[in-house]
Structure 1
Amino acid sequence: MLEHLFYEDKGVLLQNLHSVTALGYLAVLFTLALLFSHPLYLAGIFLVSALAVVTAGAMEKWEFYLKAGLWMALLIMVINPLAFHAGKTILWRGPTLPILGNVSICLEAICYGAAMGIRLLAVLTIFCLAAAVVHPDKFLSLFSRFAYKSALVVSLATRMLPAAARDLANAREMLQMRGVDYGAGNLRERLKKYSWLLDILLLSSLEGALQIAEAMQARAFGTGPRSCYRRELKRPRDLLCFTACCFALVFSFYAKVKGYGDYNYYPQLGVLVPHPSSLILLGIILGSLALPLVLNWGWKHWPYLRSKI
């Protein structure tokens, strides 16, 4: 289960982008999710992020994030109407409670809670996408030219949890094949069985640390300047995706300046579409953000396009 939360090579275009391009795309999505408050814009960012996750083949990861995100979004939708009563459209008036005071539920608070729930789901989806498309080693290699020792430490730390989860799953399966039933027995017996897993995990971690140390010593790590390192190539797909991100960011700031990306929830709900230009800008922004997804479709189904980008 835990191994699905970490990076897995699926061979999709989003995983074959330059690290700077991939991080730029994620940064734009994250910035827009926090920049906009209009429900249509937030829903659009969430939709593009969700399609990107599906395109990256990270549905198993996204399922884990959604299970937590949906509960938190529902919690926001429940707490916000109970805590804020600044809206004019009162749907229900309740009794007076000692701490909460006059309990009343207004339409504006429900809508604001729903919008914030969508924003939360969008942010969680973007983090899920980052875990699916950004290789930890490629990300840390960006900083290895001027801080290679620190980058190595962080790289080893990021690998520790996935490796431990994989070793734990293997040890559990091995003991089950030998007849160990983790659900049988009383609490003390079950704890004893799980302690065997910790012993195996500790031994495998120590062996892995020794192997890494031997490999570093064999390569004379730290004895002088680096002799070689992996260089990422900049390809046409990086230029296309980076340009699309810049377009989306520029038009997003323009929509923000014009006020199309904002929405008044209190004291009364504003007009959802104040001007047709709002929808046009939204279409341009979402279309720019969806360009990498379109290229990914061509990457999978059009060998000629794949050879050119």
Structure 2
Amino acid sequence: MLRRQARLRREYLYRKSVEDKQKSIQAKKDQIKRSLEENIPIHGDLRKEALALQKRIDFEDKGPQRAAVIGGFSGGANTQSSQDDEYRYAGVEDPKIMITTSREPSARLKMFVKEIRLIFPNAQRMNRGGYEMSQLIHACRANEVTDFIVVHEHRGVPDALVICHLPYGPTASFTLSGVVMRHDIPDLGTMSEQYPHLVFHNFKTDLGKMTMSTLKYLFPVPKPDSKRVVTFANNDDYISFRQHTYRKSGKDIELTEVGPRFQMKLYEIKLGTLDALDAADTEWALRPYMNTAAKRRFLSLEDGWKEEQED
């Protein structure tokens, strides 16, 4: 098993290195093509290889058009990046999710984890105990778990949610705020365990689409007659989570919120799993103390993500 994991990891790293090299060459060709079309001087760093790249441009075509797979940043209509591989077969089989907490969780965190388990179909809750993170990830890989979720707290208040996609990542980390649990609302009744329909609002950038993929593929494909709806609504990079059931009354539709409710804010994406985060590359990280941080919107406006890439 360990040898197989090492081989698959080497293959993944090789594909990623080849992809990075191809992206670098394609960026140079695009820059040369733009210079020729706009009749402006070619950048000095590209002049030595400009003729060779121009010949390659003349013999290239766009290739077959293919629907882009949400989940990666790079590539056009006919390319697919190594990050896309993690979600290539999403939807073919139902996800299998394992949920745990930090060590020595409080009573409120245990209640919140029970509610989180009911949100995600096919999810199981596990007591953390004294297990190391590497042991948990290894056990999840051996049992074909697709996503590993860790919920953290501060003085009994849930304040962080980490979603690790297996077997290789990525790992997305969110802060939690405004948590209202079902246990806090009297006489709320039971929660439906139907596969929910999903509503995503205002995820427009490449980073927003990757975040949407991370959340969307935690849920299996619902049946058309399902009466349960889960909403992720982005407003100023804060993702509001709401859960409703609905029923039709004539021409009217009555919505009933069943909870819990909370807000999520993405603060980091790592290209690795939780057992090796220190060695993993950082795909994106929130920098809230920069002078322009208050003006940027990374999930809903194109300008925010482009500015972050340039820094």
- Shorter-chain TM band: under 0.3
Higher relative contact order (CA 8 A, sep 6+): 1
TM-score (norm. length: structure 2): 0.21
